[in-house]
Amino acid sequence: MFNLTFRQRRYFSYGIRWVVALILIFFAIFPVLWILSASFNPTNTLATAKLIPDNIGLDNYYSLFNNPNTPFGIWIWNSIKISSITTVLSVSVTTLAAYAFSRFRFSGRENMLKAILLIQVFPALLAMIAVFTLITQFDSIIPAIGLNTHAGLILVYLGGAMGVNIWLMKGFFDTIPRAIDESAMVDGATHWQTFSQLLLPLMRPILIVIAILTFIGTYGDFVLARVLLKSTDQYPLMVGLFIFTSGQFSQQWGPFAAGALLGALPIMIIYLVLQDQIVGGLTQGAVKG
Amino acid sequence: MKNYFFKAAVVALAMIVLVACGGDTQQVVEEAAQQVEEAAQQVQENSEEIAEQVDQAAAEAEQAVEEAQEAVEEAVTEAEEAAEEVVDEAEEVMEFETSITIWADDTRAPILSELAEGFQNEYGVGLVVEQVADINDQFPIAAPAGEGPDILILAHDRIGGFYASGLLAPLDLGDTAGEFLPVSVDAFTYEGDLVGMPYAIENLGFFYNTDLVETAPTTWDEVIEVGGALVESGDATYAIALTGTTYDMFPLQTAFGGYVFGQSEAGYDPSDVGIDSEGMIAAGEFVQTNVEAGLISDSLDWDTAHVQFETGEIPFLMAGPWALDRIREAGVPYGIAPFPTAEKEGQPFLGVQGFAVNALSENVLLAQTFLTEFVATEDVMRQLAESGNRPSAFAAVASEDPDLVSLGDAGVNALPMPAIPEMGSVWGSWGDAFTLIVNGEQSAEDALTNGGEQIRALIAGEELPEEEGEEETDE
Amino acid sequence: MAVQALKRFETGDGQSATLSNVVIRLVLLLAIDAFAIWFAVRAFGEGYLPLGIAIALIAAGVNYVILVKEMYPIRWMLLGLILMAMFSIYPILLTVFVAFTNYGDGHLLTKPQSIEQITKARFVPEGGSAYTWTGYSNEAGDYALWLQSENGDSFLAFPGQTLIPAAEATGLGELDSEGIPESVGDYERLNAFQVASDQNISTIQFGSELDGVQIRSPQEAAQLQPKFAYDEANDIINDLETGVSYTPVEGRWTAANGDELTAGFRANVGLDNFTRFFQSPAFRGPLVRIIIWNFAFAFFSVFATFALGLAIAYVFNDPEFPGRKIIQSFLLIPYTIPSLITILIWRGMFNPQVGVINRTLSDLIGIAPAWTVDPWLAKIAILIVNLWLGYPYFMLICSGALQAIPGDLYEAASIDGANAWQQFYKITLPLLLVAVGPLLVASFTFNFNNFNIIFLFIEGGPPIAGSPTRAGHTDILISYVYNLAFAAGRGKEYGLGAAITIVIFVVVAVITLFQFRYTKMWEEVGEGV
């Protein structure tokens, strides 16, 4: 086609990809600029007539950090703590289950897989009331996992660990040829050894992806957390931020926007750090049957 | 497989520690920590056995033991820390034998928290203020489960549902009842019982930009005339912008004679829906004509309308006390006036905010005492009124803020927001009708007639299971 | 050899059981059982019947799985299954149960709670006296009251003793301006809060049986008698003042003349919620066109988010590509900010008059589309917003899932002369769908019920003119039905809500199961690898 050297062709392709990337980034970032604008705007509006507000100021950020009724630092810490614990446990549960679904053939396997997905699609809004009742009852038996405890909330989150991610993980397991396990087993390896030493390293990309998804999902939840946690010091970030929107006409969008942007930072950092791990598998030549 | 069990045990133990983290008492935490340690020993012993049996597995098992030990150690430290925290917290709370819990919104929570210290020192009763978003949604779930607050803050239009459900304890204000504005006490009276103690009232006012207009217009024709001149001269984009909420349009609609529910002696009458009344249609026609003439904005966005007023693009706005902060912050010069008239005077809705006592609380009498002896005093009522921008419901606390005085004047004839459940059937169709009118898709008469029919169908639909349901089986 | 290995797979008995293995397993099981039994007993003790049963059932399942050899594969997911049973399935079952009750405003309490609330009420019988009160207590914690009647008479009252007129009382301390003594003997005067702090104070009878009073409000103590009594044998509540009996009718204590007592309770109403739902005006409205848009909305949302997410993952996953990390991090941003605020920001941006989109468009090419007024434009706008919200999810998933595709397949393909597009279409896509297919199904379901975006962005509008029920052009089934059902209801009706939830769940489940046909197809593709 073009009379170009390999290197020139590569740079050409990079150039085009960068142009596409810039367009996409514009699309991704543009609304966020308005949120940034709202966070500097003391009038608590989300109307987007002007990108640079008239009375630009840091009031909203200041009020986030200096108002004893909105302990922003504690909220972020709570969120990170809850999300991290949930992510580690949930990914463990998911991975073990997905291995079983992929590698064993047992009766009820297909129906279980279907059931897992169906349970996930049950509209959760009203089940929330039942979850509240359940945790209230736990509260009077083992207060440590009852209302207003992070442990109780995490347990409820883990109830969703057997979710659609099992399908994703199982699909990934399925693409790893069985021959790998079989040869290991012939050499006397147990299922656990095959799973933990052979397959898990290969699974790294999808494990990271699912971990990030779980982390973001937990981090962003406010529906469950709002019902189960009641004291300001226990709130995760999202529930804390929703306090600002509770008045029907007096939503404080300024602090909300500021908090939402700052709250996004931990996720961005985690993603930046883990990103190489996602693509890592490819460079190592992944699967060699 | 061995290793699997082994790790599963570790996970299970980790769960116990996790459970301990959120604990209430040091004992639980210590027990858990002890359990974890014992189990860890056990795990180590077992793993040594395994190591002897399977060479290949041994290395991994050891590593796992190390990991497990580390994990356990970490967990124990964490548990200990958590225990300390818990103890600290416990000390803080246990200072008082009894305490009152209040659920408050973001506006009132800070004021109540400030009051708490003085109250606690004076009376030796604890006061815990919890800032809860969506009190209306959370309370009916939490209260029957025994997890509700002792006192909650709510608007008067929710008392009916809660009181009929047995969630609110009636109040006896005694002599202090006379110190509240009668209209606010009436709003919190349900079927003859007083079920809440009002602290603030709120209604819309007619805002005008004092740079653009010297004196507020007194009729709607004048609004259009004055605003129109400003549009013509290029000083304004529109004469006025409406917001999508029919709540905000109500003063215009009532000025033309529109109403939502007819009034009978027993209060609002749900069988008399006024959405397609003559007055309402007249208001709709007024809006549509002037939108077409470019004098009323064709946007119905609440935020947009406010921004347009704040930036001086429109001279008039119907807004509530909740907008005061942002309008002041924006720096636009403004005045607040009573609503313009047309056929009659324009009336806004009146909302009343108050405290109510959870009937399922163990401290009903204490909560009532708190309200009548502590809150219903001039001093506390004044502090409540000072932030939040609402005129106080306590007569002695006359607002010194001129804006609140003007808002009070604009609301002299305000109509209490209907607290009857049928009101829930009205908002949607009513708002849609005005959207269609402003968009010019239907004439005011068509849109409102159809809206009225939708509302009547909804209200009638409720009766179906008992009455019409039987008729249907006959057909 | 491979055959042998496979056989081990099938039986799940990868290795012969050793002694220590069995012991660990049994100890663990014993621990779990001990815990479960303790927990269930406590639950039954607290009166939480369903919870106790659930715990017992789960424990039985755990025992079965751990003890029965064939259950080996299930042991891998045991912890997940326990958590799922307890925190997902059990709440769903409770919700199903609620659908057959009238739980909601007016019926929020349980029957015992309702009886307790009603029988708390007391009344002052004819000729009974009421007083304002002041409380006292001694070191032993006994209480006394100083009572003042409206006509100015004062009395001292001790529990169980006849009221003592002020003149005859002894040991009175200094009187304050209102004539109330500061102390009585060794009884010190209390403030109202100190009295009210005692939760039992209002049950104490001050005075003798004939003239005794009880505290009933911070202001008043009176000769009170219980107003209602519950007759357990007949399951009726009797009004002791008027003699009227109230029987429970659908969760309301109702008298013969139709009067009802405040505080109803949750009662079983059979299929009422379902009949109400199916008879509601919702089904007389433009249901067909809402369903068509609902499917289109869900389909295009999934299609667009998946396509863009996959494209980004595919194009920018090359580790050699400079700036890959920073690009992908920027592209993730929409996923990291709460959608509540981003949807509202988009709503502002699409505002036809002041929104930045139209200001820019009219500056550049002189058009200002009526995004919120025109039905088609509103639909397009909502899809754009949903694309923005949703593509990072698939970007993440695809960038992980793409790693599962063995590189040698591509090598083989390029040797066979397949071009890039063919490689993508013939190798990447089918293999990717093995893993991602079910997530597409789940995403479709999620969007099918994506109430939030419809409501926050445009509230279902623009309204459909002349519709017999309230409906908007962008309303999807769930927003339309919920709005109508709840607008028509009386306050919060969880029972009705649960019934609607179940109906919608059935619809969604059918759609989901139908889509499984395709995932099955994908899975077979995957098995071949």
CB C470 within 8 A of CB B429: yes
Smallest Cβ–Cβ distance between B46 and the set C20, C353, C462 belongs to C20
Q: How far apart are CA C371 and CA C352, in angstroms?
A: 6
Residue A45 has pLDDT above 90, yes or no: no
- Any A CB within 8 A of B24 CB: yes
CA atoms within 13 A on the CB side of C478: 28
Which residues in C lie closer than 8 A to residue A196 (C-beta atoms)?
none
Q: How far apart are CA B263 and CA B256, in angstroms?
A: 17
- B388's tokens: 């939040």
More confident residue, C318 or C452: C452
Smallest Cβ–Cβ distance between A250 and the set B11, B107, B147 belongs to B107
Task: List CB contacts of B180: < 8 A, sequence separation 6 or more.
Answer: B173, B197, B198, B393, B394, B395
- pLDDT tens-place string over residues B79-100: 555 555 544 544 444 467 888 9
Q: Minimal Cα–Cα distance from C159 to chain A, Å?
A: 35
Are both B261 and B337 inside the same structural domain? yes
Are both B160 and B255 inside the same structural domain? no
If DSSP codes are grouped into helix, strand and coil, which group holds residue C372? coil
The CA R_g of chain C, rounded to the nearest whole Å, is 35
Mean pLDDT of chain B, nearest integer: 80
- The alpha-helical segments, DSSP class H, found in C287-338 are 287-316, 324-336
Smallest Cβ–Cβ distance between B113 and the set A69, A150, A231 belongs to A69
Is there a domain that residue B469 lies in? no
Beta strands at C122-123 and B261-264: parallel, antiparallel or unpaired: unpaired
Is there a domain that residue A62 lies in? no
Which residues in A lie closer than 8 A to residue B36 (C-beta atoms)?
none
Residue A147 has pLDDT above 50, yes or no: yes
- Closest chain C CA to residue B42: C24
Q: Is residue A156 packed enough to be buried (19+ CB in 10 Å), middle (13-18) or exposed (0-12)? A: buried
Q: Is residue C138 packed enough to be buried (19+ CB in 10 Å), middle (13-18) or exposed (0-12)? A: middle
- C182's tokens: 């500061």
Q: Tell me, what CATH number does B440's domain have? A: 3.40.190.10
Is there a domain that residue B468 lies in? no
Smallest Cβ–Cβ distance between C108 and the set B42, B165, B457 belongs to B165
- Any A CB within 8 A of B329 CB: yes
How does residue A108 score in pLDDT terms, banded at 50, 70 and 90? confident
- pLDDT tens-place string over residues A239-258: 888 888 776 666 788 888 99
Q: Minimal Cα–Cα distance from B181 to chain A, Å?
A: 24
Looking at the structure of chain B, the number of domains it has is 3
Smallest Cβ–Cβ distance between B22 and the set A129, A145, A243 belongs to A145
Q: Minimal Cα–Cα distance from A25 to chain B, Å?
A: 27
Which residues in B lie closer than 8 A to residue A136 (C-beta atoms)?
145-147
Please answer yes or no on whether B19 and A243 come within 8 Å at the CB atom: no
Smallest Cβ–Cβ distance between C325 and the set A164, A172, A272 belongs to A272
Please answer yes or no on whether A245 and B133 come within 8 Å at the CB atom: yes
Which residues in A lie closer than 8 A to residue B311 (C-beta atoms)?
49, 54
Per-residue pLDDT, C1: 40
B277-296 residues touching C, CB cutoff 8 A:
none
Residue C486 has pLDDT above 80, yes or no: no
DSSP 8-state code for residue C281: G
CB B199 within 8 A of CB C245: no
Is there a domain that residue A173 lies in? yes
What's the whole-number mean pLDDT along residues B311-332?
90
Please answer yes or no on whether C336 and A256 come within 8 Å at the CB atom: no
Q: Which of C216, C198, C240, C204 is nearest to C130 (CA)?
A: C216
Q: Angle CA(A92)–CA(A97)–CA(A99) in degrees, nearest 5?
A: 100
- pLDDT tens-place string over residues B166-202: 999 999 887 788 899 888 998 898 888 899 999 999 9
Per-residue pLDDT, C504: 86
Are both B197 and B210 inside the same structural domain? no
A123-162 residues touching C, CB cutoff 8 A:
123, 125-131, 133-134, 137, 140-142, 155-156, 158-162
Q: Which of A233-237, B36-40, C294-298, C411-415 ranks highest by mean pLDDT?
A: C294-298
Are both A116 and A32 inside the same structural domain? no
Smallest Cβ–Cβ distance between A144 and the set B23, B60, B145 belongs to B23
Are both B271 and B318 inside the same structural domain? yes
Domain coverage including residue B78: 2-94
Are both B198 and B209 inside the same structural domain? no
Q: Minimal Cα–Cα distance from A68 to chain C, Å?
A: 23
Looking at the structure of chain A, the number of domains it has is 2
If DSSP codes are grouped into helix, strand and coil, which group holds residue B462? coil
- A114's tokens: 């279907």
Q: Which of A46-50, A246-250, C405-409 ranks highest by mean pLDDT?
A: C405-409
Burial A196-223 (b: 16+ CB within 10 A, else e): bebbeebbbbbbbbbbbbbbbbbbbbbe
Q: Minimal Cα–Cα distance from B255 to chain C, Å?
A: 26
Which residues in A lie closer than 8 A to residue B135 (C-beta atoms)?
246
Tell me the percentage of chain A whose pLDDT exceeds 90.
30
Smallest Cβ–Cβ distance between C113 and the set B144, B161, B372 belongs to B144
- Any C CB within 8 A of A49 CB: yes
B292-321 residues touching A, CB cutoff 8 A:
301-304, 306-307, 310-311, 320
Are both A170 and A260 inside the same structural domain? yes
Query: Which of A19, A35, A57 delimits the end of a domain?
Result: A57
**Which of A273-282, C229-238, C311-320 is predicted least confidently?**
A273-282
Are both A75 and A141 inside the same structural domain? yes
Is there a domain that residue A289 lies in? no
Q: Angle CA(B113)–CA(B117)–CA(B120) in degrees, nearest 5?
A: 120
Is there a domain that residue B268 lies in? yes
Are both A187 and A74 inside the same structural domain? yes
Q: Tell me, what CATH number does A158's domain have? A: 1.10.3720.10
- pLDDT tens-place string over residues B102-140: 999 877 888 888 888 888 988 888 999 988 878 888 898
CB B103 within 8 A of CB B151: yes
How does residue B6 score in pLDDT terms, banded at 50, 70 and 90? very low
If DSSP codes are grouped into helix, strand and coil, which group holds residue C147? strand
- Bridge partners of residue C207, in order along the sequence: C159
- Any C CB within 8 A of A206 CB: yes
Please answer yes or no on whether B141 and A45 come within 8 Å at the CB atom: no
Are both B279 and B382 inside the same structural domain? no
B53-82 residues touching C, CB cutoff 8 A:
53
* Predicted-complex ipTM score: 0.89
Are both A49 and A74 inside the same structural domain? no
Is there a domain that residue A117 lies in? yes
Are both A214 and A245 inside the same structural domain? yes
Is there a domain that residue A194 lies in? yes
Which residues in C lie closer than 8 A to residue B304 (C-beta atoms)?
348, 351, 353-354
Smallest Cβ–Cβ distance between A119 and the set C79, C88, C403 belongs to C88
Is there a domain that residue A118 lies in? yes
Domains and CATH numbers, chain C: 19-98 (1.20.58), 107-121+232-270 (3.10.650.10), 124-226 (2.40.430.10), 281-527 (1.10.3720.10)
Query: Which of B94, B111, B144 delimits the end of a domain?
Result: B94
What's the whole-number mean pLDDT along residues B254-269?
89
Q: How far apart are CA B211 and CA B363, in angstroms?
A: 54
Are both A31 and A94 inside the same structural domain? no
Query: Which of A15, A34, A57 delimits the end of a domain?
Result: A57
Are both A49 and A75 inside the same structural domain? no
- pLDDT tens-place string over residues C100-156: 999 988 889 999 999 999 998 888 888 788 888 999 998 888 899 999 888 888 889
Peptide bond before residue C462 is cis, with ω within 30 degrees of 0: yes
Are both A105 and A20 inside the same structural domain? no
Are both A142 and A275 inside the same structural domain? yes
Q: Minimal Cα–Cα distance from A260 to chain C, Å?
A: 6
- pLDDT tens-place string over residues C346-391: 988 888 877 888 888 988 888 888 888 899 999 999 999 999 999 9
B49-68 residues touching A, CB cutoff 8 A:
56-57, 60
- pLDDT tens-place string over residues B20-63: 343 343 444 455 455 555 655 655 555 455 445 544 544 454 55
Are both A73 and A52 inside the same structural domain? no
Query: Which of B75, B94, B113 delimits the end of a domain?
Result: B94
Q: Which of B118-122, C217-221, C295-299 ranks highest by mean pLDDT?
A: C295-299
Q: Angle CA(C39)–CA(C42)–CA(C47) in degrees, nearest 5?
A: 125
Q: Which of B372, B362, B367, B98 is nearest to C120 (CA)?
A: B362
Dihedral of CA atoms A10, A16, A19, A24 in degrees, nearest 10, equals -100
Using CB atoms, list chains with 3+ pairs below 8 Å to chain C.
A, B
Smallest Cβ–Cβ distance between A45 and the set B24, B29, B303 belongs to B303
Task: List CB contacts of A30: < 8 A, sequence separation 6 or more.
Answer: none
Report the run of H or E that residue C239 belongs to, with start and end: strand C236-239
Domain coverage including residue A166: 67-283
- C214's tokens: 């009880």
- Closest chain B CA to residue A153: B22
Query: Which of B64, B94, B124 delimits the end of a domain?
Result: B94
Tell me the percentage of chain B whose pLDDT exceeds 70.
77
- Closest chain B CA to residue A148: B22
- C30's tokens: 């014993």
What's the whole-number mean pLDDT along residues C284-299?
90
Are both A124 and A229 inside the same structural domain? yes
Residue B12 one-letter amino acid: A
The number of angstroms, rounded, from the C-alpha of B102 to the middle of its chain's C-alpha atoms is 15
Tell me the percentage of chain B whose pLDDT exceeds 90.
40
Which residues in A lie closer than 8 A to residue C319 (C-beta atoms)?
276, 279, 282-283
- Any C CB within 8 A of B450 CB: yes
Per-residue pLDDT, C304: 97
Beta strands at B151-155 and B205-209: parallel, antiparallel or unpaired: unpaired
More confident residue, C436 or B283: B283
Report the run of H or E that residue B334 belongs to, with start and end: strand B334-337
Please answer yes or no on whether C276 and B465 come within 8 Å at the CB atom: yes
Is there a domain that residue B466 lies in? no
Residue C407 has pLDDT above 70, yes or no: yes
- Any A CB within 8 A of B416 CB: no
Test the A interface: residue of B2, B11, B21 with most A CBs within 10 Å: B21
- Closest chain C CA to residue B468: C279
Smallest Cβ–Cβ distance between C435 and the set A46, A171, A287 belongs to A171
Residue C15 one-letter amino acid: Q
- Closest chain B CA to residue C347: B301
- B392's tokens: 């106080």
Query: Quick one: three-class SS letters along C436-453?
Result: HHHHHHHHHHHHHCCHHH
Is there a domain that residue B471 lies in? no
How does residue C300 score in pLDDT terms, banded at 50, 70 and 90? very high
